[in-house]
Structure 1
Amino acid sequence: MRSFPIPFNEPERLAAVQALSVSPDEEPILNEIVDMVRKELDVPTALVSIVDQDKQWFAARDGFPLCETSRDYSICSHAILRSDPLVLCDTLADPRFRDHPVVVNPPHVRFYAGAPIVLSSGLRVGSLCALDYVPREQPSASSLATLIGLSHVVARALERPGRNATNTEARQENAGRVAKSEFISLIGHELRTPLTIALGSLKLLEGTDKASSANSLFTSALKATEHLQDLVERIIEFADASTGELRLNEQVCDLTDIVASIAELKLPGADGEAKSIRRSDQETSLKARVDSDQIRLALDALVINAVQHGGSEILVGIGRDGDGNIELNVSDDGEMNDNVDLSFLDEPFVVGGSLDNRSTEGGLGLGLPLTRKLVELHGGELQISSSPGRTSAVIRLPAWREELVGSGP
């Protein structure tokens, strides 16, 4: 599993990174800023880190020999998801980072403080950070305020007029348009899907005179409608349509409750026949620190996909893999058709092609790109596999999300 989460608006964010016209160590003002950060926080290393697709590179550095590293070594990939500075007084004491490559391998970072670099477009391209190789005390409020203020100066310097300004502004404006379009397409689909389920359940309800069946279908319709209402509120609170950014509202929750609530549903398939969902596990409690609404949304999309395009037997379950990572499983006894190319799942941020051209047949509907983005935002991964008589989807979340329940950072 990768060592970093992927922002919900990663394609648009990367477009803004590519639009930057700055080279490492060539901006005097940035070099002055990292020197100020190093002195203010009394650390041996300070960096202006730009988080690119597969690497982080340093527009300015003080006390660090390399001009870039693999993104796997990037703590800044976590910092760009925050609105406030990310402060790690001792990386080995934090479940999220004690096994991080930059901690267990040279240079063995033990202290980190980084403020996100946010462009005027709202897109986050990197972090202004301070590093040390021994644990440190919490920085003062004044030092953190200085770090935040200097990160704003870095952002303005990166967008300074006169440095290929016309081309840069055009590319950033286009990135903003793409972000808004992609965001609306993905979220718009998820707004409509629960409503479709509700209407389908109610139509099934009209044609039955069996009380037990009617109660089950009515419950499904009510749950789907309530889900739509909750989703609208979550989007308003945690989303920014202008940048395509979605933030995590992380809290400790019991994931078995989410699985159990989904297993209670009875939903209509594409043929109008009602399908039931069953549990495939015996877990009684598995708590983790996640955004429970977004995990529920991601799991909903997989279940609805199975109901609409899968077989007659749908199973949902929860467990752990051999490395202790959390696994949420959805499977059915159907098979994907020949039009589905699973190799597309290996392409970053893409599932089966562009939104406009993607088919909803064969088990890969429009909901899966959103599921993948939500899972990757949690630092996890989505895996889909197909074999004769069985199609499976697994949401895999890093083990440290369960470990955070006890430490509560």
Structure 2
Amino acid sequence: MKKPEIPHNENERLIELRRLNILDSEQEKDFDDLVELASIICGVPISLVTLVDADRQWFKSKKGVEIDSSPRDISFCGHAINYDDVMVIENTVADKRFFDNPLVTEDPNIRFYAGMPIKSENGFNLGTLCVIDTQPKKLTELQITALKVLGGQASKLIELRDKKNELEIKNEKLESLNQLNTRITSIISHDLKGPINSLRAYMNSNYIDANNPKDLAQLFPLVKNNLNSLNELVENLLEWSNSSNDVNFENIKVKELIFEVCNLFVGNALEKNIDLKCGYLHEDKILADLSMLRFIMRNLINNAIKFTENGEVIVETEKTDDHQIIIKVTDTGVGISKELLERIKLKDKKVSTKGTRNEKGTGLGLQLIREFLSIHKTDLEIESVENEGSTFSFSLPVA
């Protein structure tokens, strides 16, 4: 028996196969109709749409067999993908490549095989549309032509399936962004007006004498807090605006990004006597949208500093067995009460509390973090003990 040769472009071919996300997918009628038609036209009991993986051939659609896959090193289709035309073996026992192949000497006792390569849009042979018989056989020219046409249709179906998946993903992203836009518009209408109205009330108050230093001294902290709140809100909205124009997933060096964001808060941490540590960080790349991930990290670190005084804020990563990177931001701050934690976990609720130095928050950051993480198919985990500290974490796939 001769094992199939490995195509010269095998690595690129396998990347293409995985990109199409078709391996181990559900049964689809369009492919089933193809194998049924191939079986009828060629007059054979077995027909398959096969995809040749690294060490197996997997059957996207099948007629006449029960198994879903078989080893690549004994497969006929492993040979056929090295051709650009139909590969025909009229009598397997008379062919030195296959006469002692287990698929010939044992079930399903192949005696005849013909396979037309299924080519991807980028020109890679992914597998075959093949027909099989338990008796030696010779196809007519018309049957061979029909097999070529059906193989081409299998290629077209895979292309259409890929385009459909891409469109569904884009529609899902668009729907998520539309929902996000609606929620943010609602938040803006309330939160942007709040600090402004508060400032106007202070300024127009009959109880404030602009010529009285004591009145001005009382007014200053209130104005400062409201301006800080407005600044935080505007920054969050600008970040949201930049991120919501499009979602661009790319490979990101998580260690570099965390160092970049941590450096933005060194001064804030020193001012509150906080030891800001970028703990153990993995070198792996993760798959994420850079703008959204930067926003998430900025807000989590900023919040950890806001609710901590004379303590630590630690940013670290953990790699799981299922190829995920968990990013954690832990502080030794005031923590969160059970009651407040329950409110925070109600994702449709916006919660705002003051920091250790009465820093005002808008509650917008946490909502946006959750929205951005939902686009990444993940969620924010929160662990906290009042007066001891909190840990905020989320996971993203290794690229």
What's the TM-score once normalised by structure 1's chain length? 0.40
* Structure whose CA Rg is larger: 2
What's the TM-score once normalised by structure 2's chain length? 0.41
